[in-house]
A and B are shown apart, each in its own frame.
Chain A
Amino acid sequence: MSAYFQDYLTVGVFAALGVMLVMMMLGVAAVLRPHHPNRTKLMPYECGVDPVGSGWDQSHVRYYIFGLLFVIFDVEAIFVFPWAIMAEELGTFGLVAIIAFILTLLEGLAYAVKKGVLRWE
Chain B
Amino acid sequence: MDAIDLLIVVARVVVVFALLLVVTLLNVWLERKIVADMQNRIGPDRAGPFGILQTLADGMKLFFKEQVTPRKVELGVYLLAPFLAVIPALLTFMVVPWGRPIEIAGRVVPLQGTDLNIGLLFILAMSSVGVYAVVMAGWSSGSKYPLLGGVRATAQAISYEAAMGLSMVAVVMFTATAGDGGTLSLAEIVARQQGSWGDALGIPALGWIPRWNLFPELVAFGIFLIAAVAETNRAPFDLVEAEQELVGGFHTEYSGIRFAMFFLAEYINIFTMSAIATTLFLGGWNGPTWEGTVPAVVSAVLPTVWFLVKTYAIILVFFWVRATLPRLRYDQLMQLGWKRLIPGAFVWLILSTVVIGIRQFGWPWT
Contacts and interface: CB of A to CB of B under 8 A. Distances in A.
Given A26-B257, A44-B72, A120-B334, A56 B147 contact: yes
A37 B66 CA distance: 9
Contacts of A21: 17, 86, 90
A88 B176 contact: yes
A77 B166 contact: yes
Nearest to A103: B350
Contacts of B330: 120
A77 B253 contact: no
Interface in B261-307: 261
B162 A36 contact: no
A99 B124 CA distance: 23
A25 B158 contact: no
A101 B346 CA distance: 11
Contact of A70 (B1, B90, B158, B360): B158
A87 B142 contact: no
A103 B354 CA distance: 13
A45 interface: yes
What is the interface of chain A mostly: helix, strand, loop, or mixed? helix
Given A11-B91, A51-B143, A118-B339, A18 B353 contact: no
Contacts of A67: 155, 158
B114 A7 contact: yes
B331 interface: yes
A17 B258 CA distance: 18
Q: Which of A18, A32, A43 has the most CB of B within 10 A?
A: A18
Contact of B70 (A43, A74, A77, A80): A43
A81 B256 contact: no
Given A11-B114, A92-B357, A109 B338 contact: yes
B256 A42 contact: no
B143 A55 contact: yes
B363 interface: no
Interface string B84-105: 0011001100100000000000
A88 B177 contact: yes
A59 B146 CA distance: 13
B137 interface: no
A44 B72 CA distance: 7
A96 B146 CA distance: 46
A109 B166 CA distance: 15
B31 interface: no
B182 A10 contact: no
Nearest to B178: A88
Contact of B63 (A14, A33, A98): A33
B172 A55 contact: no
Contact of B9 (A6, A29, A102, A103): A6
A113 B166 contact: no
A121 B331 CA distance: 7
A28 interface: yes
A83 to B, nearest CB: 8
A108 B114 CA distance: 38
A115 interface: no
Contact of B159 (A51, A59, A66, A77): A66
A13 interface: yes
26 contacts: A6-B9, A14-B16, A14-B113, A22-B83, A25-B261, A26-B258, A28-B257, A29-B64, A32-B64, A45-B252, A66-B338, A67-B158, A69-B162, A73-B165, A74-B161, A77-B166, A81-B184, A84-B172, A85-B183, A87-B356, A88-B176, A92-B357, A102-B350, A109-B338, A113-B338, A119-B335
Interface of A: 1, 4, 6-11, 13-15, 17-19, 21-22, 25-26, 28-29, 32-37, 41-47, 51, 54-57, 59, 63, 66-67, 69-70, 73-74, 77-78, 80-81, 84-88, 91-92, 95, 98-99, 102-103, 106, 109, 112-113, 118-121
Shortest 6 CB-CB contacts between residues of A and residues of B? A85-B182, A120-B331, A77-B165, A44-B143, A29-B257, A84-B173
